[in-house]
Amino acid sequence: MPDAADTDLPTPIEVPNDASLMEKIVNLSKRRGFVFPSAEIYGGFRSTYDYGPIGVQLLRNVKDAWWRSMVQMRDDVVGLDASILSPPAIWEASGHLKNFTDPLVDCKACHERFREDQLEDPRTCPNCGATDSFTEARQFNLMFKTHAGPVEHEGAVAYLRPETAQGMFINFSNVLQSSRKKPPFGIAQIGKSFRNEITPGNFVFRTREFEQMELEFFVPPDEADRWYEYWVDARYQWYVELGIPTEKLRIRPHDPDELSHYSSGTADVEFLFPWGWGELEGIANRGDYDLTQHATHSGEKLDYFDQATNTRYVPHVIEPAAGATRTMMAFLLAAYDEEEVRGEVRTVLRLHPRLAPYKVAVLPLSKKDTLTPLAREVLQLLQPHLMCDYDETQAIGRRYRRQDELGTPYCVTVDFDSLEDRAVTVRERDSMAQDRVAVDDLLGHLLPKLA
Ligand code: ATP
């Protein structure tokens, strides 16, 4: 078996949850192709990021895991993909044009801008240290405004959506009629949203362009409280099942003075980031606010006629709203681990197999041509079922380490014995244990472990 000493018992290394971990994640992301700063060759474009070959896969897996749990595994939720460009009427009705604002202050000394509600000390500038140098706060609308069409006149104003949710509300009747669902039922959407954040930062935690995963769950009014509890619990469990340790996860119910006027309950699922607790997802009991607003502004009926009870009502909405990019970062932070093996530090991402960018790496032991045909055969056997990497450069030990850093759950090594016995070595990421498995049994061996 290749590199048998790789199974030497490892010694765990304590990885503190602080700025040093953040730095490691940012470095790993760049080095291994998870996340790159955007427009780097032009000096960068503040707070925008590009997802590299590994990151695009991880992000896709986060979204797929959400879709699987919220849409595929249920018969009371259907999907939607609504447009990003949207007319002002939507945001007028939703209240975003008036209320989707943050309080902005300028430092008169250094001219930096801050969100007043995020200042640690409201009298001291965190950039230059000046005291009492802030202007009066003014409300800054976070929506990106643009013009649709070739002429930039008022009638051509359009907005990039700041959340995906409104797409579900304005399509309520379309979905109700075409899907034949009835409350309680939900509409789910994953997609990009845009907010002109005053203070983006902390890597992909807060960016101006990001991805959301939102569900609007429509229920009879008297069932709203029950469904709200249900979704708070279900959403918390989703993160736990995908590997976030419970000591780094909490549900924080909002205080009454934090609630929007229409909300009778909101709770955030929070993760313990290196700088403290931060929101991954908000679950809100929104009443009939959204459908009523759009019905009033559009003049269309947005309600439900229940034939069984012969009553017409406006469904109440429970909204679990999560961030895909922010959640991806939480999964990365939670999975990061180091241990000492034979005097060297092994970095390993202990990602849940469902999230792992590659499920399997096929590694011919050496670059010798004699191994290539069988290694390629193994790759082609696995590829239709599993996302695979194929790597034949460098010493096998270094290739294992690279896969550990990508979070690949299994490495399959094709060696010279394989040519005789048509068996391969399967190495497991976390334990580094190695098994010899016949090529013909390989798929059956791997698939159940990766489901
Ligand atoms: P925050 O308080 O952090 O600004 P929010 O309460 O305004 O977030 P929501 O409007 O509830 O956020 O959006 C739902 C989710 O979308 C958030 O929990 C978060 O995961 C994600 N999200 C919101 N804004 C951003 C952003 N600027 N960058 C990345 N993700 C974001």
Which residue's C-alpha comes closest to atom 1 of ligand 1? 279
In a domain, 337, yes or no: no
In a domain, 109, yes or no: no
Backbone φ and ψ of 448, nearest 5°: -65, -30
Say if residue 288 is in the same domain as residue 363.
Answer: no
Question: Does ligand 1 have an atom closer than 6 angstroms to the CB of 282?
Answer: yes
Distance CA 349, CA 347 (A): 7
Would you put residue 205 in left (φ > 0), alpha (ψ -120 to 50) or beta? alpha
Say if residue 23 is in the same domain as residue 172.
Answer: yes
CATH number at residue 306: 3.30.930.10
Task: Count other Cβ atoms within 10 Å, centred on residue 138.
Answer: 11
In a domain, 376, yes or no: yes
Say if residue 227 is in the same domain as residue 267.
Answer: yes
| Final residue of a structural domain among 332, 367, 386 | 332
Say if residue 164 is in the same domain as residue 256.
Answer: yes
Say if residue 57 is in the same domain as residue 202.
Answer: yes
In a domain, 114, yes or no: no
In a domain, 387, yes or no: yes
Give the list of residues 6+ apart from residue 233 with CB closer than 8 angstroms, or none.
none
Say if residue 428 is in the same domain as residue 375.
Answer: yes
| CA 7 / ligand 1 centre spacing (Å) | 42
Task: Count other Cβ atoms within 10 Å, centred on residue 439.
Answer: 17
CA of 35: how far to CAs of 58, 128, 204, 387, in Å? 10, 30, 9, 19
Say if residue 73 is in the same domain as residue 204.
Answer: yes
Which residue's C-alpha comes closest to atom 24 of ligand 1? 206
Say if residue 324 is in the same domain as residue 380.
Answer: no
| CA 278 / ligand 1 centre spacing (Å) | 10
Domain count within the chain: 2
Beta strands per DSSP E along 302-391:
304-306, 311-313, 316-323, 336-341, 344-349, 360-364, 388-390
Question: Does ligand 1 have an atom closer than 6 angstroms to the CB of 279?
Answer: yes
Which residue type is seen at 128? Answer: C
Closest approach atom of ligand 1 to CA 327: 20
Q: State which of 91, 202, 204, 212 you would mutate to test the pocket of ligand 1, scoring each by most atoms of that ligand within 8 A of its C-beta.
A: 212
Give the list of residues 6+ apart from residue 439 with CB closer than 8 angstroms, or none.
374, 377, 378, 381, 418, 422, 423, 424
In a domain, 97, yes or no: no
Question: Does ligand 1 have an atom closer than 6 angstroms to the CB of 164?
Answer: no
CA of 296: how far to CAs of 83, 89, 280, in Å? 22, 12, 32
Question: Does ligand 1 have an atom closer than 6 angstroms to the CB of 197?
Answer: yes
Say if residue 421 is in the same domain as residue 277.
Answer: no
DSSP letter at 283 equals: E
Say if residue 328 is in the same domain as residue 375.
Answer: no
Say if residue 303 is in the same domain as residue 364.
Answer: no
| CA 323 / ligand 1 centre spacing (Å) | 6
In a domain, 304, yes or no: yes
Residue 388: strand, helix, or coil:
strand
Which residue's C-alpha comes closest to atom 20 of ligand 1? 323
Say if residue 30 is in the same domain as residue 177.
Answer: yes
Per-residue pLDDT for the chain (451 aa), expressed as one digit of tens each? 555 445 568 999 999 999 999 999 999 999 999 999 999 999 999 889 999 999 999 999 999 999 999 999 999 999 999 999 999 999 999 999 999 999 999 999 999 999 999 899 999 999 999 999 999 999 999 999 999 988 888 789 999 999 999 999 999 999 999 999 999 999 999 999 999 999 899 999 999 999 999 999 999 999 999 999 999 999 999 999 999 999 999 999 999 888 888 888 999 999 999 999 999 999 999 999 999 999 999 999 999 999 999 999 999 999 999 999 999 999 999 999 999 999 999 999 999 999 999 999 999 999 888 999 999 999 999 999 999 999 999 999 999 999 999 999 999 999 999 999 999 999 999 999 999 999 999 999 999 999 7
**Containing domain of residue 396, as a range?**
358-450
Distance CA 349, CA 172 (A): 41
